[in-house]
Amino acid sequence: MMQRSSISRRLTQGLALVGLAGTLLLFLFVAIEYGMTFSTFFDREALPRVIHELSEHVLMPVLVLIVPMTLAARWVIRRSLAPLADAAERVDAAPEMARGFRIETGQLPLEAVPFADSVNALLARLDRAAGDQEAFAADVAHELRTPLTLLALEMDRLDPETAAPLRRDIAHMRRLVDQLMLLAQIDADNAAQVPQTPIDLAELAADVAGRLAPLAVSQDRLIAVEGEAAAQVNGRREALAAALRNLIENALRVTPAGGTVTLRVGPGATIAVCDEGDGLSREQLDRLVRRHRRGDHASVDGAGLGLAIVARIMAAHGGSVTAEPEHKAVRLRFVTDTK
């Protein structure tokens, strides 16, 4: 593999070659001026004079001019390339879910502007492609709502025992459609940089737990909420409620009858959903957050998207979802200064 060389190194090497060529030319002019030949260097009587002349007219100018010029050139090179390093830092600091990010070309060297413009054009095409994909998903989800509603109405004509499993399947499909539309809305809000609102995590946990309490009771399970001092985060309440709801439903699924799913708010800006199942390892969670991967903790009505949706929602809020197998919990971690 060919070793890559930096622009700074190439410029320095080029300047060194120019300096060496200038030194050789200066030596040649001095030799011609004083009539020096190769035999002069072997003449013991003339050699001291030759050395003196070369030192005075070649070596001293090189030391006086070339060395300071080399140091100055290296400083100029580094200063000229500094805008590139600054641009790279801004790119690295860009949020993962950022839309509309572009490289600022105002401070870049003129030679680097075409490259930056090409990268910006590529980013614009990627943004358009992502926007088209999100719009397509939202349109598909929206179009699916009507036939699902009609199917649900048609179930009234069937025998209740026959219609029951079909109603559950339709409910699962509606839930998936709602989740797809929620994801599309989150991505659209991020692209439009819609302001987020303050959310009390303790109040959010209590609200979601209250809404899912009837479901837990129907499954012979309970939901409990524990917490420390309430923490506030900035975010979209509907999306965070959906993420927490997914985790609770997964926990209810793996918790045996008569068991309790516990929501622990804190410490800090976190919410942990603890179940009484076998627990979820960090490696399993990492696999399950990838779309279309299922497991014991994957929501039965999410078509394998439950934990992937949770991870996507948390990423959009600058947070994360982590597994704590020692506590049989999955924890949502928020960033309190998310804007």
pLDDT the model gives residue 222: 92
Domains of the chain with bracketed CATH: 7-94 (no CATH), 129-192 (1.10.287), 197-333 (3.30.565.10)
Which of the four pLDDT bands, split at 50, 70 and 90, describes residue 338? very low
Tell me the β-bridge partners of 222.
260
Please give the model's pTM, rounded to 2 decimal places: 0.55
Q: What is the DSSP string of 118-163?
A: HHHHHHHHHHHHHHHHHHHHHHHHHHHHHHHHHHHHHGGGS-HHHH
Coil, strand, or helix at residue 29?
A: helix
Q: Show the DSSP H helices in the chain as ranges.
A: 7-33, 47-54, 60-61, 67-93, 113-154, 160-192, 201-218, 237-254, 282-288, 306-316
Give the residue-averaged pLDDT of 157-171. Answer: 78
The set of residues, in sequence order, having a beta carbon less than 8 Å from that of 209 and lying 6+ positions away, is: 223, 224, 225, 248, 263
Q: Would the pLDDT of 1 be above 60?
A: no
pLDDT the model gives residue 261: 93
Which of the four pLDDT bands, split at 50, 70 and 90, describes residue 208? very high
Residues 166/148, Cβ–Cβ less than 8 Å: no
Residues 283/293, Cβ–Cβ less than 8 Å: no
- Could you tell me which residue, 319 or 30, shows the higher pLDDT? 319
pLDDT the model gives residue 292: 46
Give the residue-averaged pLDDT of 217-244. Answer: 86
